[in-house]
Structure 1
Amino acid sequence: MKTHLLCLEFLILAVHVLVSSGQMEPKKQVPSNPLMATQRLGLVERDVQGPVRPNITMPRRRLPPMCTGPTEIRDTFKYINTVVSCLVFVVGIIGNSTLLRIIYKNKCMRNGPNILIGSLALGDLLHIIIGIPVNVYKLLAEDWPFGVTLCKLVPFVQKSSVGITVLSLCALSIDRYRAVASWSRIKGIGVPKWMAIEIALIWILSIILAVPEAIAFDMITMDYKGEHLRICLLHPMQKTDFMRFYKSAKDWWLFGAYFCLPLACTAIFYTLMTCEMLRKKNGVQIALSDHLKQRREVAKTVFCLVLVFALCWLPLHLSRILKLTIYDEKDPNRCELLSFFLVLDYIGINMASVNSCINPIALYMVSKRFKNCFRVRCHSPQEVSSNF
C-alpha cells in the first residue's frame, strides 16, 4: 500500500514539474516584419508594376501567392529607359524648338496646318521639359522628394500634352478634308481667326480633360527595408464617386479618347477627302495643279503624323487593354503571362516617349518644305525665306 502511495506522489510531482516548466518557458514569437502587411495588401499591384506599393485601408482578402520569378526585367528596363529618355530629351528639344522657330520666323510657313503642327510641337516640348526628367529620376530613385504639387503637376502635363496631340491630329485631318472640298479656296499666308480659336479650344479642352489626373495622383509614405519612402502614384483609395469611376475606367477611357479617336477621325475624313478628289477629278484640278500638289503633300504629311502616333502608342495601350481583359490574378500560371505584359508595358512606355520627339523627324522625311527649312536653318538662318 505504501508503495502505491509513493508511486502516486511521484507521478503527481512529475506532472507538477512538467506544467511548471511549460509555464516558465518563454513563448516563441514570430519575428514581425513591418512591411509584411504592406507586401500582402499590395501584392497584385506589385505583380503588375514591379515595385512594392502600399495599399492602406484596403479590406483584407485572400490574395494569390507572389510571383517567384526574377526581377531582372525591371532592372534592365531602368537602364534602357534612362538611355531612351536622354535621347528623347535631347532630340525632342532640338527638333521641336527648331520646328517652332521655323514657323515663327518664316511668314510663308504661317498657315493653318503649320500652326496646328506648331501647337503639337509646343505640347510635346512641355512634356519633354517637365515630364521626362522627373520620370527618369522617379524610376531610378524610387523615392519622391518633389512634394505633392509636382506629384500632381507631372501627370497633368503628360495628359495635357497627349490631349493636345490627339486633338491637333483630329483638327489637321478635318482641315485637310476642308481644303480639298473647297478647290477654289487658295491658301493664303497668315492664320485665320477661326484657326486661332480652334487652337485655343484644343488647349483648353486638353487641360480640362487632364484635371482628373491631377486629382487622382497623390503621395503616400511607407517603410521599406529600414528606409522611409515617399511614393507618387494614382492613389488606390479615391474620395469621390466620380474619381472612383475614373480610376476603374481610366484605361478604357485613354484607349478610346486618346488613341482610337484620332485614328477614326483620320480614317473618316481621309475617306471623304479621297471621294471628293475622285468626284472632282476632271474639274478645277487642271487649273490648280501646282496648288493641289501642295495640298496633297500636306495631306500626306498629316497622314504620316497620325501613322507615327498610332505606332508609338499602340504597344502601351495594347498592354493595358490585354491586362484588363485576359489577366487573372488568381491564375496559378499568371506569372508567365505577367512577364510578357511587363515587357510589352516597358516597350510601350519607351515608344510613347519617342512620340514626343519624332514628329520633326517625320516632317523632315515627308515634307519637302520642312526639309528645306531644316537644312537651311542648320546652315544659315538668313537664307530660309529665300527658298520659298
Structure 2
Amino acid sequence: MWTAAFILCLGNIFICGDASDQRAEPVRQTNASDLLMLEILKYNSSLPPLRAGPKTSHPPMCLESAGIRDAFKYINTLVSLVVFVVGIVGNSTLLRIIYANNCMRSGPNVLIASLAVGDLIHIVVDIPINAYRLMAEDWPFGVVLCKLVPFLQKTSVGITVLSLCALSVDRYRAVVSRNQIKGAGVSAWTATEIILIWIISILLAVPEVVGFDMITMEYKDKHLRICLLHPMQTSLFIRLAPLDTTCNLVSHLSCAVVIFCWHINLNVSNLPFQRREVAKTVFCLVVVFAVCWFPLYLSRILKSTIYDEKDPSRCQLLSIFLVLDYFGLNMASLNSCINPIALFVVSKRFQRCFKCSLYGEKNSLQIKYICHSNSSFHRIRVLCHKRKETMFSR
C-alpha cells in the first residue's frame, strides 16, 4: 500500500503539472480536428480547455479515435445504468440502516452516511447527464445545468476524499488511544467534521460554477452547443482553480488516507472486535477508492509523459490512451456505487442489517446484529424495526 500511496501522489502531481503546462500554451483556434478533444471535454470536465486564437496547422484527425468513442458510447451507457441502479439502491439502503437503527448511529457510520449522501447526489444528477452528453453531440440542458453538473462532480469528490480522511483520522485516534469505546450517537466533534467536510467541498467546487459555460462552435454547417470550462476566461484564478484545487486535494489527502489506513491495518490485531472491524472497513473503503481512480490517474500520467499531439504517427498511441481514459472514467464512476457493496462484504454488522432490510418482516426475528454497550459486545435479538413505517413512512 505504500507503493499505492506513492503512485497516487505521483499521478496527481503529473496530472496537475500537465494541466498547468497546457494552460500556458499559446491560444489557438478550435477547428474540426479539435472536435474529438472537445467531445472528451464534454464527458470529463477535468481536462483543460482549448482556447481561441491564431490559426495553427494540425495533423490530420485520427479516425480510429472517433471509432473508439463510438464503441465506448454503449459501454459507458451500460456502466452508467449499473451505477445508477446499484448506487441508488445501495446508498439508499445504507442510509435507511443508519437512520433506523440506533445501534448503527456511531461516529464512523455517520461519516459513511455523509459519504453516501454525496454519492447519491452525484448519481441522481450527474450520471444520467454524463451518459447523455457522451452519446449526443449537442448540450440541450442550458447554462444552469452546465455549471451545476461539474460543481456537483467536484463536490462529490471532495466529500469522498475528506470523509475518508476523517474516517482514517478517527480510526487512527481509536488505535492510539486505549479509551473505552463510546456508545451509539453522534458527538459534537463528528457533527462538526461533517459540516466542515461539506462546506470545504462546496467552496472548492465554486470555481466550477464561475468557470464553466456553454459555448457554440461551427462543425459541418451545424451549431453545436458544448459545455466546458470557458476558453476565454480572463481571470487567472478561474482558469487554474477548478482543476488545480481538486488535484491538490486528491493528491495530498489520498496519500495521507492510504498511509493512515496502512498504519491502522498493521495495528488492528490487538484491538477489540468492534474497533478491528471498523478499522478494516475504513481500510477497505480507501482501497476501493484507490482502485477505482487509479486507471484514470495512470492514463493521464502516460498521456502527459508519452503522447505528443503534433506527432503525425500519434493515432495508434492515441487509441490506446483513449481506451485507458474511457476505462478510467467508467471505473471512477463505479466508486459512487461500490461503497455499500464493500461494506456488505467486509462488515458483518452491515451484512445483517442489509439482509434485514431486504428480507423485511418475514425474517426479521431471525436476523441478529452486534450492538455494543461501552466496551463490551452483546449479540442481541432484534426485530430490525419490524414496523416498516419507521423506515418508510416518514
Q: TM-score of the superposition, structure 2-length normalised?
A: 0.78
Cα deviation, residue 246, structure 1: 3.4
Q: Which residue of 2 aligns with 1:344?
A: 324
Alpha-carbon distance, 1:242 to partner: 1.2
Task: Decide whether the 8 Å contact of 2:216 with 2:226 is kept in 1.
Answer: yes
Q: Is the counterpart of residue 167 in structure 1 residue 167 in structure 2?
A: no
Say whether 1:262 aligns with 2:257.
Answer: no
Tell me if structure 1 keeps the 8 A contact 2:126–2:153: yes
Structure 1 match to 2:57? 62
Q: Is the 8 A contact 2:94 2:116 kept in 1?
A: yes
* Percentage of identical aligned residues: 61
Which whole-Å CA distance do the structure 1 matches of 2:192 and 2:113 have between them?
Answer: 15
Shift of the 338–48 alpha-carbon distance from structure 1 to 2, 3 Å rule, reads farther
- Provide the residue aligned with 1:353 in structure 2: 333
**1:179 corresponds to which of 174, 182, 203:** 174
Alpha-carbon offset, residue 49 of structure 1:
6.0
Aligned partners of 1:140, 1:43: CA distance in 2, in Å?
Answer: 14
Matched, 1:42 2:37: no
Match of 1:156 in 2: 151
Which ranges in structure 2 are unaligned for 5 or more consecutive residues? 1-28, 44-48, 370-380, 385-394
**1:378 and 1:58 mapped to 2: Cα distance?**
58
CA contact (8 A) 2:171 2:264 kept: no
Task: Give the structure 1 partner of residue 98 of structure 2.
Answer: 103
CA distance in 2, matches of 1:215, 1:50: 17
Retained in 2: the 8 A contact 1:99–1:360? yes
Write the distance in 2 (CA, Å) between the matches of 1:84 and 1:46: 22
Letter aligned with residue 177 of structure 2? S
Listed as ranges, the matches of 1:285-324 within 5 Å are 292-324=272-304
Matched, 1:242 2:234: no
Query: RMSD across aligned C-alpha pairs, in angstroms?
Result: 2.7
In structure 2, what residue type is equivalent to 1:360? P
* Equivalent residue, structure 2, for 1:21: none
Equivalent-residue separation in structure 1 for 2:327 and 2:280 (angstroms): 28
In the other structure, the counterpart of 2:351 is 371
Q: 1:307 to 1:70 in 2, by over 3 A?
A: closer
Contact 2:204–2:245 at 8 Å: present in 1 too? Answer: no
**Corresponding residue for residue 71 of structure 1:** 66
Question: Displacement of 1:296 after TM fit?
Answer: 0.4
Residues 263 and 310 in structure 1, CA contact (< 8 A), matched pair in contact too: no
Give the secondary-structure state (helix, strand or coil) at the position aligned to 1:177: helix
Tell me which amino acid in the other structure corresponds to 2:123: I
Change (3 A) 1:312 1:183: same
By how many angstroms is 1:38 displaced? 4.5
Q: 1:144, 1:230 within 8 Å by CA — same for their partners in 2?
A: yes
1:220, 1:46 → 2: CA distance?
A: 11
Aligned to 1:34: none
Partner of 1:220 in structure 2?
Answer: 215
Query: Are the counterparts in 2 of residues 156 and 211 from structure 1 also a CA contact under 8 Å?
Result: yes
Q: Do the aligned partners of residues 80 and 162 (structure 1) sit closer, same or farther apart at CA in structure 2, a change above 3 Å counting?
A: same
1:268, 1:188 → 2: CA distance?
24
Offset at residue 183 of structure 1 (A): 1.6
1:33-62 CA-partner distances (Å, limit 9, x unpaired): xxxx742573683597699xx966322223
Are 1:233 and 2:233 matched, yes or no? no
Q: Report the AA paired with residue 31 of structure 2.
A: Q
C-alpha deviation, 1:188, in angstroms? 0.8
Normalising to structure 1: TM-score of the pair?
Answer: 0.79
Q: Which has the higher contact order (CA 8 A, sep 6+)?
A: 2
Contact 2:65 2:319 in 1 (8 A): no
Matched letter for residue 179 of structure 2: S
Instruction: Find the counterpart in structure 2 of residue 329 from structure 1.
Output: 309
| Alignment partner, residue 32 of structure 1 | none
Q: Distance in 1 between matches of 2:109 and 2:278?
A: 9
Task: Tell me if the contact between 2:32 and 2:219 (Cα under 8 Å) persists in the aligned partners.
Answer: no
For 2:391, the equivalent position in structure 1 comes to none
